[in-house]
Amino acid sequence: MSNGAFGFYFMSAFPALLSDPSDTMKWMYRLQQRIGITRQESLFILTFSLVLLFGLAVRYLYAQTPPSDFYAEADQRFEESARRFRQAEPSSVFDDTTRAGRRAPAVDERPVRMNLNLATASQLERLPRIGPKMAARILAYRRAHGPFKRVADLVRVRGIGEKTLARLEPLLFVEDQR
- 124 within 8 A of 135, measured Cβ to Cβ: yes
Q: What is the pLDDT of residues 48-62, one digit of tens each?
A: 989 999 999 998 888
Closest CA to 13 of 27, 29, 33: 27
Whether the predicted pLDDT of 151 surpasses 70:
yes
In a domain, 97, yes or no: no
Which CATH number is 118's domain given? 1.10.150.320
Q: Tell me the three state secondary structure of residue 18.
A: helix
In a domain, 80, yes or no: no
Provide the domain count of the chain: 2
User: Which of residues 64, 80, 95 is at a domain's end?
Assistant: 64
Shared domain check, 115 and 59: no
Closest CA to 115 of 156, 168, 38: 168
In a domain, 75, yes or no: no
Angle CA(83)–CA(84)–CA(90) in degrees, nearest 5?
115
In a domain, 96, yes or no: no
In a domain, 13, yes or no: yes
In a domain, 113, yes or no: yes
Residue range(s) defining the domain that contains residue 166: 108-173
**The pLDDT of residue 19:** 64
| DSSP H or E stretch at residue 91 | helix 90-93
The CA-atom distances, in angstroms, between 160 and each of 55, 120, 130, 133, 138 are 55, 18, 9, 12, 9
- 173 within 8 A of 115, measured Cβ to Cβ: yes
In a domain, 123, yes or no: yes
Whether the predicted pLDDT of 15 surpasses 70:
no
Mean pLDDT over 100-107 rounds to: 52
Q: What is the mean pLDDT of the chain?
A: 78
- 27 within 8 A of 17, measured Cβ to Cβ: yes
In a domain, 100, yes or no: no
**Residue 112: φ, ψ to 5°:** -130, 160
Closest CA to 31 of 14, 16, 10: 10
